[in-house]
Every structure is written in C-alpha cells, then in structure tokens.
C-alpha cells in the first residue's frame, strides 16, 4: 500500500491532456489490424506469437510525435494500447479456434465454423475480458503497484517516456534497441555465434543451457532478482531434477522419447505440461490470495451502483460504471446462450463466464509477473 501511496503518475491526475482521440483510435486500429494479421499468420505457422506492445509503442511514438507533431504522452499510450490489443485477440483466436476445424475434419462436429462464428466468438471473448478487467484493474494494477513488476508494460512506458523527454533518455532507449537488433542479426542472420548454449551430462540425463539474447536479459533486468530467481529455480528443477527422474523411473515410452530427442524430447513431451499445470496452480493460488481484495473491489463498486458518472473522481481513478459492467456481462451471457451459431446451453454459458473471470484474473497476474 505504501508503494501505491508514494507513486506519482508522470502526468498528474489534475492535468487534462488529449488521450482517447479520433487520431489515437484510427492509428491504434491500423496497428491492431497489422499486428493482429501478422501474429495470426505467425502463430498458425510456427505455434507462437510475438508481443506487439513494444513495437506498437515505438511506432505510436513515431507517428504521433514525429509525423503528426502532437505532444501528448497519453495519446501515444492509447495508440500503443489499442495497437497491441490486435495481437492479443489474434493469439486468443488462433490457439483455440483451430480445434473446431480439427473436430470438423474428424467428424466430431458437422461443419467448420464460419467467419461470422469466429468473429462473434472473438468479439464476445474480447468484451468479456474488458468487462472483467474493470474491477481487476484496481485489484491487480493499482493496489499491486510496486509489487507486480509488469515488465512489458514497464518497457513500453520507458520507450514512450524516452520519446517524450528526448535527449539522453531517448538515446539510451534507441541505443539499446540498436544493440539488440545488431546482436540478433549476428546470431540469427549471420549465424556467427550460436544463440543457445547447452551442456548435457552423459549418464545423468540433465542439461544446462542458456539463451544469450539481449531480450531475455532485459526481461530479467526489468523483473528484478526476486521474480527472475523464481524462473531460474524452475529451470533448475526441470532440467536437473525432473528430467533425470523421468528418464530413470520412466517406462519404455519414456526411453524411446529420450533416445530419439534427448533431454529436449522429455521437456517437450512431459516437462512443459508439468510447467503449464504449475503455472495454472500458481495462478489459482494467487487468485485465492487476491480474492479478499477482489471482493472488496466488487463490494465498493456495488455500493455505488448508478448510471451516473462519478464526476468527482480523479482522472486516474475513473472507471467504467460498475452497473454497466454487470449489465454487459449479463447481456453477453444471454448472447452466448441464445445465439444459435454458438451451441451452448445456459449452464454452459454460465461456466464460460465464471471460468472466464477466473482465468482473466490468473492471466492478468501472470502478465504482471513475467510479461
């Protein structure tokens, strides 16, 4: 709480500057389309996406400040926020909806989903996430300020503020970007040195390795020693404890996997699922710990249920009216239940909304920890 009380926003709450403008919406939507399409293709091609937050921040700063000659850091931040949302929505779609196409090819469902179905599912999921984040913003961002590092958000803010301040700050940020780009070109482009270094212990089945990319080091620096130590200890546990134990006690299937792919084969077929389970369990533990704060946030919001906007609140403390949030969630629940192209009963719609809230909380906290 002390961190929250001592925090002073870069733009004072009393100062009103352009933020949600026609310019920020149009430019943000263009970036959202570009990064959304690029990440949808990349995710379907190689199974992973690239975060668009920092590229959006850089492009937004260049367009708003250097091309349009507008001087509002909040407007730049709004462009970055809207632009990076395209990548997030695309990732949510491409990692889930292909299952429907697979089921259709195997005869589990009658036909593949249409573009209308895909659009409706994505829109409903996106709106639910937005509504859920209204109370969670106070619980996980405001109240946890200084506790959760939000490394990616921190990096975006540094890029934007460097462009705002100019001078030495901007030089430092762009020098870092240039060094990272050159380093990656040498490693992945020219292939002068290997980007990954690993040593395997014969007879032990354990492996020690590292990636020498600047991006990885910068994430560790932003997260700090506490969060980084969690990730490091998890790597030690996986590669030097769990993999040797699985190989030693595993049956024929494990031995076949190990003979074909080594320690990496064990990681791909076993460890990453253990890690995913640990991630979800940790998220639910965090959810339980945060539940009193979330309940208090809901209680405070319910006390002020009204259609009237709170004109007395500071600019940095204004949220969407909580009654609108409740009505929005109820309407979306009914849409999921009633619309024919989403074949879900009422109980299924309730389960979607309830688990959607839980996983929104878990994923938001994970973003706060590791970006």
Residue 112: its pLDDT value, please? 84
More reliable by pLDDT, 139 or 266? 266
Sign of the torsion angle spanned by Cα atoms 291, 131, 11, 59: positive
pLDDT-based confidence at residue 369 (cuts at 50, 70, 90): confident
Residue 347: its pLDDT value, please? 92
Residue 3: its pLDDT value, please? 54
pLDDT at 102 over 70: yes
Residue 333: its pLDDT value, please? 93
* Selection from 155, 61, 90, 127 nearest residue 367 by Cα: 155
Q: Identify the residue whose tokens are 């405070």.
A: 300
Q: What stretches of the chain show up as alpha helix (H) in DSSP?
A: 2-6, 22-46, 53-61, 73-94, 98-105, 115-136, 151-165, 167-184, 214-237, 243-249, 252-266, 272-303, 322-338, 346-370
pLDDT-based confidence at residue 253 (cuts at 50, 70, 90): confident
Residue 5: its pLDDT value, please? 58
Residue 222: its pLDDT value, please? 65
Distance CA 316, CA 336 (A): 33
Burial class for 254, CB neighbours closer than 10 Å (0-12, 13-18, 19+):
middle
Sign of the torsion angle spanned by Cα atoms 53, 58, 60, 61: positive
Residue 350: its pLDDT value, please? 92
pLDDT-based confidence at residue 66 (cuts at 50, 70, 90): confident
Sign of the torsion angle spanned by Cα atoms 138, 143, 149, 155: positive
User: 170 with 162: CB under 8 angstroms?
Assistant: yes
Distance CA 215, CA 293 (A): 34
Per-residue pLDDT tens digits for 140-174:
777 777 777 787 788 788 778 877 766 555 567 67
Please state which of the ranges 12-21, 152-161, 264-273, 304-313 shows the lowest mean pLDDT. 304-313
User: 115 with 62: CB under 8 angstroms?
Assistant: no
More reliable by pLDDT, 235 or 313? 235
Residue 6: its pLDDT value, please? 65
More reliable by pLDDT, 232 or 298? 232
Residue 219: its pLDDT value, please? 67
Q: Which residues pair with 208 in a beta bridge?
A: 199
More reliable by pLDDT, 335 or 159? 335
């Amino acid at each position: 709480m002390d961190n929250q009380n001592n925090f002073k926003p870069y733009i004072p709450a009393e100062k009103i500057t352009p933020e949600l403008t026609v310019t920020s919406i149009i430019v943000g939507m263009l970036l959202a389309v570009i990064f959304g399409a690029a990440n949808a293709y990349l995710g379907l091609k190689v199974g992973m996406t690239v975060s668009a937050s920092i590229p959006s921040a850089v492009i937004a700063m260049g367009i708003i400040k250097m091309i349009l000659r507008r001087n509002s850091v909040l407007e730049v931040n709004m462009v970055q926020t809207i632009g990076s949302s395209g990548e997030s929505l695309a990732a949510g779609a491409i990692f889930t909806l292909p299952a429907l196409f697979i089921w259709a090819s195997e005869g589990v469902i009658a036909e593949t989903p249409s573009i209308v179905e895909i659009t409706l599912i994505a829109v409903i999921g996106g709106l639910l996430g937005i509504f859920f984040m209204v109370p969670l913003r106070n619980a996980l961002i405001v109240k946890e300020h200084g506790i959760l590092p939000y490394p990616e958000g921190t990096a975006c803010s540094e890029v934007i503020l460097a462009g705002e301040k100019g001078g030495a700050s901007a030089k430092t940020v762009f020098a870092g970007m240039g060094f990272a780009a050159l380093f990656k070109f040498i490693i992945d482009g020219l292939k002068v040195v290997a980007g990954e270094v690993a040593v395997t212990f014969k007879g032990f089945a354990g492996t020690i390795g590292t990636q020498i990319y600047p991006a990885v080091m910068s994430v560790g620096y932003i997260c700090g020693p506490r969060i980084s130590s969690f990730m490091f200890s998890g790597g030690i546990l996986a590669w030097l404890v769990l993999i040797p134990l699985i190989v030693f006690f595993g049956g024929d299937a494990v031995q076949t996997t190990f003979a074909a792919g080594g320690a990496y084969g064990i990681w791909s077929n076993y460890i990453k699922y253990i890690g995913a389970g640990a991630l979800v369990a940790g998220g639910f533990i965090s959810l339980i710990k945060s539940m009193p704060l979330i309940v208090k946030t809901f209680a405070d919001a319910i006390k002020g249920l009204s259609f009237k906007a709170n004109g007395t609140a500071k600019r940095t403390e204004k949220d969407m009216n909580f009654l609108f949030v409740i009505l929005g969630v109820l309407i979306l629940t009914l849409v999921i239940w009633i619309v024919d192209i989403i074949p879900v009963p009422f109980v299924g719609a309730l389960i979607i909304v309830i688990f959607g809230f839980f996983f929104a909380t878990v994923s938001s906290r994970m973003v706060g920890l590791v970006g």
